[in-house]
Amino acid sequence: MGKRNYQFHRSELFRRLGWLVVPVLFWQLDTLGNLSIASIQESNNSTCQDCCDYWCTTMNCVKEAAQLWQLMNHSADPCVNFDEFACGKFYKEADIPDERGYAESWDISNEKIRKILEEILSEEIKPKDRHHQRMRKLFMKSCMDIEQRERIGLQPFLETKFAEEWPTLKGRAWKETKNFSLEEMVLLYSRFNPFFNIHVVEDHENLPHKAIDITPLETGFLDSFQYQRGRHSNLVMAYETKLREMAVELGADPVTAAQDAAAFVDWQAQFFKGKNFFLIDIMEFNLSSLYSNSNLSRLGVPQAISALFGSVNITLGDNVQIIVYDRRVFNKIKVAIEKMTEREIRNVFGFTYAATRVFVTKRMQEISDKLEEVQTGNSFKKPLIRRCVEAVSNHFSLSLSKEYVNSAISNTAKNALAEMYERTKEIFREILNNTSWMARSSKQAALDKLESIALINVLPEEGFDDDSLDMVYKNFVMSGENYYENIETSIREAEMKNLRSLKDPSEDAT
| Separation in Å, CA 264 to CA 39, 99, 118, 239, 350 | 59, 30, 39, 11, 10
- In the sheet with 321-325, reading across from the earlier edge strand, the strands are 2-3, 282-285, 321-325, 210-216, 196-202
Q: Kindly report which listed range (162-166, 335-339, 505-509) carries the lowest average pLDDT score.
A: 505-509
Q: Quick one: average pLDDT of 273-292?
A: 75
Quick: pLDDT tens for 415-435: 887 888 888 889 999 999 998
pTM of the model: 0.77
Residue 217: which of 200, 201, 230, 199 has the closest Cα? 199
Position 193 confidence tier, pLDDT thresholds 50, 70, 90:
confident
pLDDT in tens, 431-455: 999 988 989 899 998 898 888 776 6
pLDDT at 278 over 60: no
Give the other-Cβ count within 10 Å of 211's Cβ: 21
Helix/strand/coil (H/E/C) assignment for every residue in 393-422? HHHCHHHHHHHHHHHHCCHHHHHHHHHHHH
* Long-range contacts from 329-332, C-beta under 8 angstroms, 24+ separation: 329/216, 329/277, 330/196, 330/216, 330/295, 330/296, 330/299, 330/301, 331/295, 332/271
pLDDT at 411: 78
User: pLDDT digit string (tens) for 91-135?
Assistant: 887 766 666 666 676 777 777 888 899 999 999 999 999 999 999
Percent of the chain having pLDDT more than 70? 80
Q: Which of 295, 363, 281 is nearest to 333 (CA)?
A: 295
292-342 confidence digits (pLDDT tens): 988 888 888 898 899 899 989 999 988 899 998 877 778 888 888 888 899
Task: Please check the confidence at residue 248 and state whether its pLDDT lies above 80.
Answer: yes
